[in-house]
Amino acid sequence: MPIKAYGATAADVPLEPMDIQRRAPAAHDVQIAIAYCGVCHSDLHQVRSEWGGTLYPCVPGHEIVGRVTAVGDAVTRFAVGEIVGVGCMVDSCQHCSACAEGLEQFCENGFTGTYNAPTDEQPGHTLGGYTQAIVVDDKFVLKIRHPEDQLAAVAPLLCAGITTYSPLRHWQAGPGKKVGIVGIGGLGHMGVKLAHAMGAHVVAFTTSPHKRDDALTLGADEVVNSRDDAQMQAHAGSFDFILDTVAASHDLDAFTALLKRDGTLTMVGVPEHPHPSPTIGMLVFGRKSIAGSLIGGIAETQEMLDFCAEHGIVADIEMIAIQQIDEAYDRMQRSDVKYRFVIDNATLAA
């Protein structure tokens, strides 16, 4: 049965309606009617081939929530009617040491991305959540324990939530720690909420001074205009950890200067163009680190969803119809989003 989707046929054309096919659920599969799908800056990077290697047609979307409509014979953890989520991965090798440790995002044989990853099925690569339905191996399906009326605002947790939760946990954000979050976009606004809920002293760094009051409401203890040298200087040498979510090339020295001895600046943004080379002396004097982090494993994604349900955390969203997707991309490019666009997938039927 054809399923309605929105996707791009090339890097320089708008997304357009298209029909796609999904496999019939096999023994371990869960078939999901997608209710909502978040719009990640990675979708924009990939649709426009800013990272190179995009496979077309490209149907993006990896912040998926919806309702189970069928399960394979071997599926015991999910039942028809349940609300569930799917994030950035739909499969991995399941036998390498990374998978054995629950770090499927670092699968040594390459995890299968929710979209743009090679597969045996038509059209030869995976297709994401800007569609009416998806079929996913049950190991990559997540339980949603939030109240059902929050479902749209839960969708962004599947990527923006886990991508900030995982490094905050890994670098032990918590009471007594001073944590910076750079860029108050989809990822960054979740980073502020999560670091605050973990008990850290949170400083939000923004290039958009008008986001100041919002950042305080999201849970920041302080807000810094990262383009104001005096405001930056006031925090020199004071951070245990800084999480940088910026989607564009920028100067990293401005942030390594703010780290304490042994502090870490962790990058999660993956801009189209490289950052200017950081000054190594800034790291040497203070034994500081620049690190990277990629989403999070499936078990940790479930832990994050449960943490958010327990603490009443969801994303701040602006709902859009699928027909507004190109306008949403343009606004995201201009940092004009508060703070995540979420597609109402019912509008695919329009």
Query: Rounded distance, CA 349 to CA 35, Å?
Result: 12
Tell me which residue of 251, 265, 250 sits closest to 180, measured CA to CA.
Answer: 265
Nearest to 265 by CA among 303, 237, 286, 291: 291
Residue range at the interface with Zn ion (CB under 5 A); choices 17-25, 38-46, 239-247, 340-348? 38-46
Nearest CB to ligand NAP, comparing residues 82 and 253: 253
How many residues bind ligand NAP, per CB under 6 A? Answer: 32
The verdict on 114 binding ligand NAP (CB under 6 A) reads no
Stretch of 97-105, 111-119, 151-159, 324-332 lying at the interface with Zn ion (CB under 5 A): 151-159
CA distance 155 to 159: 8
Alpha helices in 58-118 (DSSP H): 97-100
Instruction: Tell me whether residue 78 or residue 241 sits nearer to ligand NAP (CB atom).
Output: 241
CB of 30 to ligand NAP, least distance (A): 23
83 is a site residue for Zn ion (CB under 5 A): no
Which residue(s) pair with 243 in the sheet? 181, 266
The answer to whether 268 contacts ligand NAP (rule: CB under 6 A) is yes
Q: Is position 183 an interface residue for ligand NAP (rule: CB under 6 A)?
A: yes
What token pair was written down for 44? 């924009």
* Closer to Zn ion by Cβ: residue 26 or 319: 319
- Please give the backbone phi and psi of residue 111, each rounded to the nearest 5 degrees, phi first: -70, 160
Does residue 269 belong to the site contacting ligand NAP (CB under 6 A)? yes
Cβ-based nearer residue to Zn ion, 89 or 257 = 89
Tokens at residue 197, please? 């809920």
Residue 72, burial from CB neighbour count under 10 angstroms (0-12, 13-18, 19+): middle
The long-range contacts involving 218-222, CB below 8 angstroms and separated by at least 24 positions, are 218/184, 218/189, 218/192, 218/193, 218/316, 218/339, 219/192, 219/193, 219/195, 220/181, 220/192, 220/196, 221/196
Binding mask 25-54 for ligand NAP (x = CB under 6 A): ---------------xxx--x---------
Tokens for 75, please give them: 């599926």
In the complex, what is the shortest distance from the CB of residue 131 to ligand NAP, in angstroms, rounded to a whole number? 20
Give the interface segment with ligand NAP, choosing from 9-17, 111-119, 185-193, 313-321 (CB under 6 A): 185-193
Residues in the chain: 350
- Angle CA 132–133–139, to nearest 5: 150
Q: Which does 25 bind (CB under 5 to 8 A by kind): ligand NAP, Zn ion, none?
A: none
Cβ contact 217:242 at 8 Å: no
- Min dist. Cβ of residue 315 to Zn ion (A): 12
Q: Does 295 bind ligand NAP (CB under 6 A)?
A: yes
- Only segment of 11-19, 118-126, 194-202, 240-248 that touches ligand NAP (CB under 6 A): 240-248
**DSSP letter string, 225-263:** ETT-HHHHHTTTT-EEEEEE--SS---SHHHHTTEEEEE
Residue 302 within binding range of Zn ion, rule CB under 5 A:
no
Q: Which range, of 78-86, 182-190, 280-288, 316-324, touches ligand NAP by CB under 6 A?
A: 182-190
**Residue 28, class by beta-carbon neighbours within 10 Å (0-12 exposed, 13-18 middle, 19+ buried)?**
middle
Q: Which of 44, 159, 223, 267 binds Zn ion (CB under 5 A)?
A: 159
Cross-strand pairs, 135 = 31
Q: Which of 31, 42 has the CB closer to Zn ion?
A: 42
* Partner from Zn ion, ligand NAP, none binding residue 206, C-beta < 5-8 Å depending on class: ligand NAP
Selected from 216, 248, 254, 320, the binder of ligand NAP by CB under 6 A is 248
Q: Does 265 bind Zn ion (CB under 5 A)?
A: no
Backbone angles phi and psi of 51, in degrees to 5: -95, 0
- Out of 31, 42, 114, 132, point to the residue binding Zn ion (CB under 5 A): 42
Residues that bind ligand NAP (CB under 6 A): 40-42, 45, 159-160, 163, 183-188, 206-208, 211, 245-248, 250, 268-271, 293-295, 332, 335, 337
